Amino acid sequence: MTQPTLRETLDAHGLSAKKSFGQHFLLDLNVTRKIVRLAGPFEGRAVIEVGPGPGGLTRALLESDAGRVVLVEKDPRFVPLLSELDDGSGRLSIIQDDALRVKEAALVDGPAHLVSNLPYNVGTALLIKWLTGPWTPHALTLMFQKEVAERIVAAPGEDAYGRLAVIAQAVCEARLVMHLPAAAFTPPPKVASAVVHLVPRPDRPAPERLKRLERVTAAAFGQRRKMLRSSLKPLGGGALCERAGIAPDARAETIDLNGFLRLADALDQPAR
């Protein structure tokens, strides 16, 4: 028997999008299958999907080589609809909860991918949680509003380069892999979207080093037009820059990841 379309399923359950949950749905399975192809192969590993909503991405994930598909959906209205995708094999799990609160390590046994069309209002907070939290995903394939996606992959000197780029690229190799116009979503949001694929780096900073990197980037980009000797004053200013081998009159937007890591490491060293 052929599956009902996503729109038919939404209608059958009397469901429509709620703004407060950041709901903009992908109802075209060609699009969701493409995102899943960009995210995989999964080779039997588990996939966590945050915010499945009507289940367009979920259907594509269930067609893939994912060993398990674990859904985390905050809006309880979608649970009955998503349960219809369960074939009883134990491959699909549905968790009704806030993804900002769940402990991913408790949801999956081994390495797991994250694949998600994220709600815009909490997309950045979720990314920071996955980049800096105790649980490390195998890879992340995430839809953001286009501006956020650009901030994640930006290079030094670009307008979008800032804290998010430095932290994301310190932890992961990050690539923008797909653009989607607002019209691809139901209802269409006000902005365009893009998918970013992130793979954690084997040499990503240990938690303490990452915390120091967050302190340095928060201060440096908090006043991004100022020279580093001023913006970094609370952390040691010009002396800190000198210990790190960074010109004190440089501005945050010109410093690459390596430079920020040297500044973070120099925080540890005693002032001469």
> Which residues of this protein are in contact with ligand SAM, per CB under 6 A?
21-26, 50-54, 56-57, 72-75, 98-100, 117, 119, 122
Of 48 and 220, the one with the shorter C-beta distance to ligand SAM is 48
Of 178 and 257, the one with the shorter C-beta distance to ligand SAM is 178
Nearest to 14 by CA among 100, 80, 92: 80
Tell me the closest approach of the beta carbon of residue 253 to ligand SAM, in angstroms: 31
Of 7 and 224, the one with the shorter C-beta distance to ligand SAM is 7
Judge whether 58 and 52 are in contact, CB under 8 Å: yes
Tell me the closest approach of the beta carbon of residue 118 to ligand SAM, in angstroms: 6
Of 102 and 171, the one with the shorter C-beta distance to ligand SAM is 102
Tell me the closest approach of the beta carbon of residue 49 to ligand SAM, in angstroms: 7
Judge whether 54 and 25 are in contact, CB under 8 Å: yes
Tell me the closest approach of the beta carbon of residue 131 to ligand SAM, in angstroms: 17
Tell me the closest approach of the beta carbon of residue 189 to ligand SAM, in angstroms: 8
Of 117 and 231, the one with the shorter C-beta distance to ligand SAM is 117
